[in-house]
Amino acid sequence: YLATQTVKPPLPAEEFPEADLLKGEEIAAQLNCAGCHNLPGTEETAANKLNLDHLNAKFPLGRLRDFLMAPNAHYEWTRMPKFAITGAEAWNLASWLRKQAPAAPAAAEAAKLEIITHGKKLVATTGCLNCHSLPDENQYKAPKLATLTPDKWMTGCLADAPEPDSRAPQFGFSASQRAALRAFAATDRASLKRHVPAEFAERQVRLLNCNQCHGELEGFPALNLIGEKLKPEWTHKLLAGSHKHRARPWLEHRMPAFPARAEALAHGLAMNLGIPPKTPKEPHINAALAMTGRQLVGVDGGFSCVACHGVKDVKPLQVFEAQGVNFSRVGERLHPEFFERWMLDPLRVDPQSRMPDYFDEDARSVLVDVLGGDAKKQIEAIRQYLWQGDKLKLPKMQ
């Protein structure tokens, strides 16, 4: 019955170009697909990763490409992230994955009408429509949660072993998961009506496998810094994939987007560290300090920050080890308090950072003629300059 539920009207016939399999393999590496999946042909598979050997059996030609471009098209809370990939990139990646996977089995004979009719009845009467959307009438109602006393959490879908003739679904819970659910059953269950943003963020970070990249691969920032580093409004757009500009467009890896979770996850990452979910209104720019900050980031009497950082449309002069974020994008991203702590000692905040340390242990700089060499005053002047965003004037760059 489910196999008869197809797109209406039928999809038009397509002509598919020849794929570049090498580029497809490169994209798989850039997106770190192996962080969450056992790629087709993998000899040693991990139990906590989704296998992709079934791709050819699951997706008709062209549909895997469409899924990779918009995995949330039919289910917005899917854990499959949305990457900003083009149609050509998606086609190359899909083609490479399909090439590695076993061929699809021969098509089965069309089911008889009575089997399809019976399948439709099962969908309506066994609880499928409690979670899935179809125009059919839902004829199954589960008992209300309030009526399930703790003793009833020992059988059915929580039974230690499948029960003969039971209609309860088998979720494959581990012993520890069953124990946790039974412990919940013994409570007043009021926690179901509570929303704790920090706990939501912790759950989502775990469910979405964020640590397969963050904290695991070089060049990915540690997640424990995100809440205090980035303004939640900016994080929200980052997680939703709605930024017009990438913070570091020169990097090959790409940040995945989870639009349905984006706002709540951004709030939780901030609130987990005591940061409000909405950035407080910041004071107006101090024009005099901003002018001093402009001098400090330039090459004439400054720290020559523009060697590694671009300013608006002007590229950095000469990147030393790693390019920095464009100065016109800093103020919209960072909390002022984090910016000061970061500038005082970048490596203490992020051991992977290539950012130089310009201030000594006494919070003094070598530029003693500017604000008396006081580190915090100089940092605040730089911040005032950077927080002008697109309105900042170019510093001395030669």
Q: Is the pLDDT of residue 385 over 80?
A: yes
Residue 37: other Cβ atoms inside 10 A: 19
Q: Is the pLDDT of residue 318 over 90?
A: no
Could you tell me where in the chain the CATH 1.10.760.10 domains are found?
2-100, 287-391
Give backbone dihedrals phi and psi of 309, rounded to 5 degrees, phi first.
-110, 130
- The fold adopted by the segment(s) 197-271 is Cytochrome Bc1 Complex; Chain D, domain 2 (1.10.760)
pTM (two decimals): 0.90
pLDDT reported for residue 142: 85
pLDDT digit string, tens, across residues 107-128: 778 889 999 999 999 999 999 9
Mean pLDDT over 16-20 rounds to 93
Q: Is the pLDDT of residue 331 over 90?
A: yes
Question: Among the listed ranges 72-86, 212-226, 299-313, 371-385, which one has the minimum average pLDDT value?
Answer: 212-226
pLDDT reported for residue 10: 66
Task: Calculate helix-pair angle for 375-386, 287-297, nearest 10 degrees.
Answer: 100
Q: Distance of CA 82 to CAs 254, 266, 288, Å?
A: 10, 17, 44
Mean pLDDT over 310-334 rounds to 93
Q: Is the pLDDT of residue 347 over 70?
A: yes
Tokens for 284? 């107006």
Please report how many Cα atoms fall inside a 13 Å half-sphere around the Cα of residue 193, on the Cβ side. Answer: 3
Q: Is the pLDDT of residue 12 over 80?
A: no
**CATH number of the domain at 287-391, out of 1.10.1740.10, 1.10.10.10, 3.90.180.10, 1.10.760.10?**
1.10.760.10
Q: Is the pLDDT of residue 207 over 90?
A: yes
pLDDT reported for residue 107: 79
**CATH number of the domain at 2-100, out of 1.20.1630.10, 1.20.120.530, 2.40.160.10, 1.10.760.10?**
1.10.760.10
Rg (CA), the chain: 27
